[in-house]
Structure 1
Amino acid sequence: MSKEKPGRVKSALLNWLGVPISLTTGEFWSEWQGESSSGKNVTVNSTMQLSAAWACVRLLSQTISTLPIKLYERQADGSRVAASNHPLYRLISRRPNAEMTIARFMLMIVASICLWGNAFVEKRRVGNRIVALVPMLPQNMTVKRLDSGRLEYKYTENGQPRVIAEKDLMHIRGFGLDGVCGMLPVKTGRDIFGGAMSADEAAYKVFAQGMQASGILSAESTLKEDQRESLRKNLERFMSSKNAGKVMVAEAGMKYQSITMNPEAAQMLQTRSFGIEEICRWFGVPPFMVGHMDKQSSWASSVEGMNLQFLTNTLRPILENIEQEIDRCLLDDDERFYVEFNVEGLLRADSAGRATYLSTMTQNGLMTRNEGRRLENLPLVEGGDKLTVQSNLVPLDQLGQQEGSDGERARAAMREWLKASGDDKPPA
C-alpha cells in the first residue's frame, strides 16, 4: 500500500466497519489494489471528491430519479393502461419501502451502478407476496457462481453475513464482460481518476505556497545541519497563502532568488481541463452538462436538442437496463405487464418544447385534451375525452357525418337562394 493521507484512508475504511475481512475478501483488498500510475490509490470515496465525478454521478442519478416510472398492462387491442390494481404497482411507481420514495430509491440505484457497476435490491416478502423493495450496499455484497450453475449472494450487515436466495434479489448489472457482475468503473478507470487527483493536488499545493512554486536561498558558506533546520523553520513563517506579502529578512549574507511561474501553468489549466473531459467520457456525460463549457459546438443549440441527445446516448441504456431487470425479477416474465420510464418528464424544463409536443399530439388525434391536461396537472374539461384532428377539430368518428352535414347545409342554402330569385331548379 502506498502512502496516503490518514483522513483519506479512514474515509475509505468507513464502508467496512463491522464487516469481517479475511485474505480472501477480494472486494476489500481490491480497494487497495487500485493504485493508479500517478501513485494515487483510487477508491469510490476518493473519486467522489473530484468535482467532475461528483457532478456526473449526481446528474445521472438525479435526472433518472425525477422520471416517472409506471407499471402498465397490455390490452387485447394493443393499447395499454396503468396497472393500478397490480399488487406491485405501488412499490414500483410510488413507494418501494416504508422509508423511501421512488425518487430516492432510483437515485441510490443509479448511483450504485455508476460507481460500483452493480445495484442490488432485496425483495422482502410476507408469505409469497412482495411487500417492500430494499436497496443494498454493493460493497457489502459478494457474488459467487456455485457448482450447480446458480449464483450465490452473500450480504454482510453489522458484521453478520447472510445468504440471500437468488429469487429474493434483483441484481441490476452495469457494463460487464462475464455476465455475472458489472465491472467496477472506479477500479477500471483508476488511471483516469488518479491522474485527475494528482493534477488537482499539485495545483492546490501551489496555492498553499502562496503561488510561489519554489525558490533558491544561497549562502557563501556551507550550513551545518542544525542551521539548515533552523532556517527551514523560519521560512515556514512565510509559506502558505495566508502569509503572502510578508517581508523576509535574509541573514548572514544569504540571498533569495524566486523562481517565477505563470499562474495558468501553476494551475495546470489544460491538464485539469482534459481531466474533466476524460471523466465525463468515462461516465458518458456531455461536458457542458457538468459546467465544462469549452467544447460544446458539436452539440445541439436548443435545450430540447441537448436533452434529446443526452436521453438517447446516455440515459436510454441505463433506463432500458433497469426496466428489463424489473420485468425479469419482479413480474415473473408475465408479458401482459411491463414497466416504463416516462421520459417526457425531461421536457418539463423546456416550456416551448412541451407546448409543441402537447399541441401536436392533441391536434393530430394521438391524445385527447384531457390526457394532455392530466400531464400538466390541470383540471379536466367536459368533452375533452374525444380524439380530434387538426382539420376542423371534430371527433374522429364524426368526420364523414360532419362533412356530409356541411354539404347538405350548403345545398339547402343554395335552394333557398334560388327559390328567392324565382328559379326552383335544385343545385347539382
Structure 2
Amino acid sequence: MKAAWRGVKAELAAGHSGWENLTDAQPLSSFGRKSKAGAVVSPETAMSLSAVWACVSRTASVIGSLPLDMYQRGDGATRVSVDHDLAGMLSESPNREQTGLEFWESMVAHTLLRGNGVAERLQVGNRLVGLRPLINADPRRDSDGDLVYDYWDRGKKYTMPASKVFHIRGFGSGDGLGLSAVRYGLQSMGAALAADEAAATFFENGMMPSGVLTSEQVLTDVQRKQLTAMLMQYAGSKKVGKIMALEAGLKYEQLQMNPEDVQLLATRRHQIEDVCRWFGTPPIVIGHSSEGQTMWGSGVEAIMLSWQTMGINPLLTRIERRIQKDLVLPGPGRRFFFEFNREAMLQMDSKSKADLLNKMVSVGILTRDEARAKLNEQARGGAADQLMAQMAMAPIENLKGNEG
C-alpha cells in the first residue's frame, strides 16, 4: 500500500483535500472527496443523483446499442463478416458473460465517470480472445513514466502493465490519463447531493418544520431530554397531523414555509442543468426542459442532432481510434478498421425513411437489395442487386424523334 499512499499524498500536495475512507480493503477508485457543501462525491455517490444516472446511462446505452462493424480497405470499404475473430469478439461477445452491448455500455460509463474505461486483455499465448472490464482499475505512471494499472479483486490489490489492458481515455488525456467529470465537478455534484439530502430530511421530519415551542421558564437538562423524547413521537411524514398536548407553560408558534422551498425546486432545477453541462448531455435528453420549453418539435430535433454531433460522435471516434491503435494487428492487418454505424442513431418515421431510401436508390447510391436490408427484408438478387438511376433528363442529342 505504500504506492497507494504516495498517490494520495501527491493528490493532497496538488491541493486535492478531503479524501475519505482510506483503508486497505477498498479499491482506489472508490475514494471520494468532500465538497464544500459537506457531501462526499465519488463515482458511486454521484450516480445516486438522477441527473448523473440519466446522463451516463443515456450516453452509454446509445453507444452500446450502435452496431460496431469491421471493414477492409480497398476500392471502397468492404464490411467484414462477424466470423472474423476480432469482429465477432468486439461486436457480439467480448467475454464469456457479456454481450457487445453490455461491454460497451460498461466501458463508456466508466470513461464518463472516471475518465478512463479499462478492460483486461484475455489472451491465449499472443492471441487476443476477449476483453473483461476492470471496474476498480486506476491507471497511473510508475517511477519510469510507464502506464500501469492498479486494480482490486476480492480484497487484494494487483498491478497490471499497459500491455495487458485495453484502455479508453476520456477527454483531456494529454498524459495518457483521462479527466474525470466527477472529480472536476466536485462542487456542482456535492451541492446537488446536499440539496437532495436536505429535501429528504424535510420529508423525514414531516415535510417541513411546522413550528416552534416556546416557554417562559428555563428548562432543566432533564426536562429538555424529556421534551425531545416527546417531540420525536410526532416526527416523520407518517405522523403528520397528530395532535400534540402541551403543558407546563409551553406554547406552540407555527412557522410558514412554502412547499416549493422545502423541495428546493429552483436549486435542484439549476443543478440538473449544471450536471448536464459536465457530461455534455442536453437536459432535454434526460427528460428535463427549461421554463416554457416543450419536449417536442423541430427545436428539440435540432438539439438531438447537436448532441449526436458534439456529444456522441467524439466518443465514438475516440473508441474507434483506440481500437485501431491497440487491437488491430500491425502490418497487413492495418487494412482493417472498425467503425460504429452512426446511421442507427437517426431513426425516422416510416414515411421519412421510405422517402430517404427511395431517393438513395433512385440516384444510384443504394441497390434495391441494400435498401431492403435496411428494412431487414430478404434480398431478391438479380437486377435488385444492381445500382440503377432514373433518367428523367438526358442530353437532347441523345433523344430520337419519330420521323413521319
Fold equivalence (TM over 0.5): yes
Query: Residue 105 in 1 paired to residue 103 in 2?
Result: yes
Q: Which runs of 5+ in 2 are unaligned?
A: 1-19
Deviation (angstroms), 1:176: 2.8
Percent of residue pairs identical: 36
Cα distance in 2 between the residues matched to 1:199 and 1:267: 9
Cα distance in 2 between the residues matched to 1:302 and 1:387: 36
Query: Residue 259 in 1 paired to residue 258 in 2?
Result: no
Does the 8 Å CA contact 1:215/1:259 hold for their aligned counterparts?
A: yes
CA displacement 1:53-100 (0-9 Å, x = unmatched): 11111101111111101110011x2x1111226431111222112211
Cα distance in 2 between the residues matched to 1:180 and 1:206: 45
Cα distance in 1 between the residues matched to 2:181 and 2:117: 13
**Residue in structure 2 matched with residue 53 of structure 1 by the alignment:** 52
**Residue in structure 1 matched with residue 85 of structure 2 by the alignment:** 87
Query: Residue 116 in 1 paired to residue 114 in 2?
Result: yes
C-alpha RMSD of the superposition: 2.7
Residues 304 and 362 (structure 1), Cα distance of their counterparts in 2 relative to 1, 3 Å cut: farther
Query: Residue 223 in 1 paired to residue 222 in 2?
Result: no
Paired residue secondary structure (2:290)? coil
**Residue in structure 2 matched with residue 369 of structure 1 by the alignment:** 368
Residues 55 and 206 (structure 1), Cα distance of their counterparts in 2 relative to 1, 3 Å cut: same
More off after superposition, 353-362 vs 314-323 = 353-362
Cα distance in 2 between the residues matched to 1:238 and 1:278: 37
Letter of the 1:384 counterpart: A
Deviation (angstroms), 1:160: 4.2
CA displacement 1:399-418 (0-9 Å, x = unmatched): 99xx96xx45x53xx4xxx3
Does the 8 Å CA contact 1:373/1:379 hold for their aligned counterparts?
A: yes
Letter of the 1:182 counterpart: G
Residues 287 and 214 (structure 1), Cα distance of their counterparts in 2 relative to 1, 3 Å cut: same
Deviation (angstroms), 1:153: 3.0
More off after superposition, 207-216 vs 243-252 = 207-216
Paired residue secondary structure (2:281)? coil
Alignment of 1:171-320 (within 5 A): 171-176=167-172, 178-294=174-290, 296=293, 301=298, 304-320=301-317
- 1:96 is matched with which residue: 70, 94, 97? 94
Cα distance in 2 between the residues matched to 1:370 and 1:303: 34
Deviation (angstroms), 1:258: 1.2
Letter of the 1:312 counterpart: T
**Residue in structure 2 matched with residue 343 of structure 1 by the alignment:** 342
Cα distance in 1 between the residues matched to 2:217 and 2:159: 72
Larger radius of gyration: 1
Residues 304 and 294 (structure 1), Cα distance of their counterparts in 2 relative to 1, 3 Å cut: closer
Cα distance in 2 between the residues matched to 1:48 and 1:328: 31
Q: What's the TM-score once normalised by structure 1's chain length? A: 0.81
Cα distance in 1 between the residues matched to 2:162 and 2:189: 34
Deviation (angstroms), 1:214: 4.9
Deviation (angstroms), 1:204: 1.9
Cα distance in 1 between the residues matched to 2:155 and 2:205: 45
Paired residue secondary structure (2:168)? strand
Residues 344 and 324 (structure 1), Cα distance of their counterparts in 2 relative to 1, 3 Å cut: same
Q: Which runs of 5+ in 1 are unaligned?
A: 1-11, 394-398, 419-428
Alignment of 1:370-409 (within 5 A): 370-382=369-381, 383-391=383-391, 407-408=399-400
Q: What's the TM-score once normalised by structure 2's chain length? A: 0.85
CA displacement 1:23-50 (0-9 Å, x = unmatched): xx8x36x824x11010111111111111
Paired residue secondary structure (2:63)? helix
Deviation (angstroms), 1:288: 1.1
Does the 8 Å CA contact 1:113/1:173 hold for their aligned counterparts?
A: yes
**Residue in structure 1 matched with residue 17 of structure 2 by the alignment:** none
